[in-house]
Structure 1
Amino acid sequence: MRVVQVLGSSAGGVARHVAQVTAELTAAGEQVLVAGPSSVRSTVLGDGGRFVPVEIADRPHASDLVAIRELARAARDADVVHAHGLRAGALTVLAVRRRTRVVVTLHNLPVGGRAIRTVSAVLGRVVARGADVVLGVSGDLVALARSQGARRAERALVPAPARREPGQTPAQTRAELGLAADTPLAVTVARLAPQKGLDTLVRAASGVTVPGFVWLLAGDGPLESEVRAQAESSGAPVRVLGRREDVPELIAAADVVVSTAVWEGQPLAVQEALGLGAAVVATDAGGTREVTEDAAVLVPVGDDDALATAIRDVLTDHDQRERLRAAARDRVAQLPTPADVLTQLRSIYRV
């Protein structure tokens, strides 16, 4: 089967998912071509694989007409075209015009002002009515696609990242960070972008009334300098670490791993934390509950006080921490695997 995977500019999560899907399909004997901006090639394919550059901008642009022509050319001999993301999906639908089977995976709920929501609604209807199948990484995205006219919409399976075991002990990691072994420690791993609720994080940090508490924020993104400034000006016990390559070590060193997102699909950072047996506190955002079930303490989105209270309770209650860690280890065994994803996609592609 000849499959074209299409994606736009990606901060990492979508590109890593496409990389995983591409690797699984290729290993199963399918012929896969990836189409997307040149900037994502190394993330999706590494040093090998078949790739055609198609510059899909992250917002409407005159270059969209060029992208549509290039996507039509890439899809000419394909049995199925699978686009990832709302803009990539809409451009693919316009390029293919029902000549080839089209599957679109929606990875994000548009977050922003009225103009962004209006444009997103138009693109959503284009995707819903033009794609053969719409997959959503969370139940609310599936419901949205159905409300916009999708003929078939279902939940996409997104497996956790390949498990990476920590390369050193929590005590060693803490020592490298200048922290004592008994420092009450929260860790958040996130792209520093509006979707991640970082203003909630900083405000909640000031409300965690545990002596010596430290909250480490690992990641980079457009809000990095703003979050640093907010933490410094408020005196919140937040340390912004920037991009890190030692995420498993940070998670293993934490007393609690926290997600403060405004919206998530199937959050990879939360899945990674569950895989490492972490005690997790998270906002009940998007598909987060579908990932954690009862293996995390969930609080309302944007509720600083509830978040601070939940973190304090986990930090000060050893038994609760251990229950959450045991639940995390149990839950991760139930999450989808790459083999599950392959089975789902081949079934959808071949219908």
Structure 2
Amino acid sequence: MTPVSSHSPHGQSPLRTVQVLGGGNAGSSVHVRSLASGLVARGVRVTVCAPTEADHLYDFSGVGAEHVDVPRSSDPGSVAALRAACADADLVHAHGLHASFRAVLALSGRRTPLVVTWHDRAYAEGARAHLVRLLERRVAKAASVVLGTTSALVDRARRTGARDARLAAVSLPGPRRTAENEHADTERLSPKVRAELGATGRPLLIAVGSLDRHRGYEVLLDAARVWRRLDPLPLVVIAGEGPLRGELQRRIEEEGLPVRLIGRRDDVRELLAAADLAVLPSRWEARSVLAQEALHARVPLVATEVGGLPELVGDAAELVPYGHPQALAEAVVGLLGDPDRCELLRERGVRQAATWPTEDETVAQVLSVYDELTQPRPLI
């Protein structure tokens, strides 16, 4: 691995980096917090540019980073605020498409290296889909390095015009308490959580993610219709908010489906610990946080065979085609009736999770990219 250091190109002061977030994606926000913590511990100066509410949720300041409030992209002052925050940066690292595009605009006319991480695809339909493709092309061509969290995203960046696209090591940060305490707490809380959700004496299925079209929740509701006659009747709990809430709630009520929408939650680990199965019916996923959390928690996972999921979970989950409610229902019903298969998936999940990069490995890879872009090259 490339040697890493925390010094600027002139060796006179610590490397100064700016991390840019759009503020809407939980996975990228958790990653930036972990990255900021590791970089600060290695002597790097870190400024996180994100909306104030993101700092309240993820506490970037609490790990030693400076937080600068930069409004969401819909605010006309966001680019100017970001340009000011990046004025003395040795390197800027943006996360997600919209944050990356703002970083490109903010760095216009400057020679500051720009690293971009694509954590997931940006979703859009109709005329907006064309705009997204234009933004992707502009960002990919402007970035010094594009890091993709899956092979598919790396390939997409290369097709879009990136001069240097690489696979990123992105870890899932562990709980901030000890594993023993975490296990003891979840064991004690699980019956209480199940009771609060209305799942006492019946199987509990957990899905987590924004209520957007690409999450595939319409397919999950179709599958729930298939197992409505099971006894005991499984309950599906979906944690998340988004534009489809009204539409999904109407279907649940009109069709009498055993599904509950519980809104955005910050206790996903506790929800998973109480669950019999985790379900991920998405049209596309990159390095899904839910999939990683489920395998870490030893919860059998049923997921669609799309995007980066097969690469991420290997043989440690039941994979089904996207958009096939019957296949999704059969996989769920099959696991609920096969405790031996569930135990096998739990054991495979532990082994698969052990192959994922650690937080230290993630920070080391990112810092090696930073050094490559900021260290002076010898004259030939």
SS of structure 2 residue aligned to 1:82: strand
* Gapped regions of structure 2 (runs ≥ 5): 1-14, 176-181, 373-380
Residues 162-171 or 283-292, more deviating: 162-171
Determine if contact 1:138/1:287 at 8 Å carries over to the other structure: yes
**CA positional deviation for 1:99:** 0.8
Query: Which residue among 112, 116, 119 is the counterpart of 2:128?
Result: 116
**CA positional deviation for 1:101:** 1.0
Q: CA separation in 1, counterparts of 2:298 and 2:292?
A: 10
Counterpart of 1:53 in structure 2 is: 69
Q: Does 1:156 align with 2:168?
A: yes
**CA positional deviation for 1:167:** 5.2
Q: CA separation in 1, counterparts of 2:58 and 2:200?
A: 39
Counterpart of 2:367 in structure 1 is: 346
Counting only pairs closer than 5 Å after superposition, residues 247-286 of structure 1 correspond to structure 2 as 247-286=268-307
Counting only pairs closer than 5 Å after superposition, residues 109-188 of structure 1 correspond to structure 2 as 109-163=121-175, 164-165=182-183, 166=186, 168=188, 170-181=190-201, 183-188=202-207
Q: CA separation in 2, counterparts of 1:123 and 1:178?
A: 44
Counting only pairs closer than 5 Å after superposition, residues 171-320 of structure 1 correspond to structure 2 as 171-181=191-201, 183-208=202-227, 210-211=230-231, 212-320=233-341
Counterpart of 2:105 in structure 1 is: 94
Determine if contact 1:83/1:89 at 8 Å carries over to the other structure: yes
Q: Does 1:28 align with 2:42?
A: yes
SS of structure 1 residue aligned to 2:188: coil
Q: CA separation in 1, counterparts of 2:264 and 2:70?
A: 28
Q: CA separation in 1, counterparts of 2:17 and 2:58?
A: 15
Q: CA separation in 1, counterparts of 2:243 and 2:96?
A: 20
Per-residue Cα deviation, 1:204-246 (whole angstroms, up to 9, x for no partner): 1111353222222223333333322211112221122233344
Q: Structure 1 121/171 Cα, relative in aligned 2: closer, same or farther at 3 Å?
A: same
Q: CA separation in 2, counterparts of 1:106 and 1:309?
A: 33
Q: Structure 1 79/201 Cα, relative in aligned 2: closer, same or farther at 3 Å?
A: same
* Gapped regions of structure 1 (runs ≥ 5): none
Per-residue Cα deviation, 1:125-180 (whole angstroms, up to 9, x for no partner): 11111111001222222111101111111122221242354152544433343433
Q: CA separation in 1, counterparts of 2:73 and 2:258?
A: 37
Determine if contact 1:263/1:286 at 8 Å carries over to the other structure: yes
Q: In percent, how many aligned pairs have the same letter?
A: 38
Per-residue Cα deviation, 1:270-302 (whole angstroms, up to 9, x for no partner): 111110111110012221122111100111111
How many residues of Structure 1 are paired with residues of Structure 2 in the alignment?
345
Q: CA separation in 2, counterparts of 1:70 and 1:216?
A: 40
SS of structure 1 residue aligned to 2:35: helix
Determine if contact 2:283/2:306 at 8 Å carries over to the other structure: yes
SS of structure 2 residue aligned to 1:91: helix
Determine if contact 2:170/2:362 at 8 Å carries over to the other structure: yes
Counterpart of 1:79 in structure 2 is: 90
Determine if contact 1:187/1:250 at 8 Å carries over to the other structure: yes
SS of structure 2 residue aligned to 1:195: helix
Q: Structure 1 220/56 Cα, relative in aligned 2: closer, same or farther at 3 Å?
A: closer
**CA positional deviation for 1:307:** 0.6
Name the Cα RMSD after superposition: 2.0
Determine if contact 2:204/2:275 at 8 Å carries over to the other structure: yes
How does the TM-score come out when normalised to structure 2? Answer: 0.85
SS of structure 2 residue aligned to 1:3: strand
Determine if contact 1:17/1:158 at 8 Å carries over to the other structure: yes
Q: For residue 98 of structure 2, what is the amino acid of its counterpart?
A: R
SS of structure 2 residue aligned to 1:265: coil
Per-residue Cα deviation, 1:40-83 (whole angstroms, up to 9, x for no partner): 2223435543122222415xx7x1xx433333332222111001
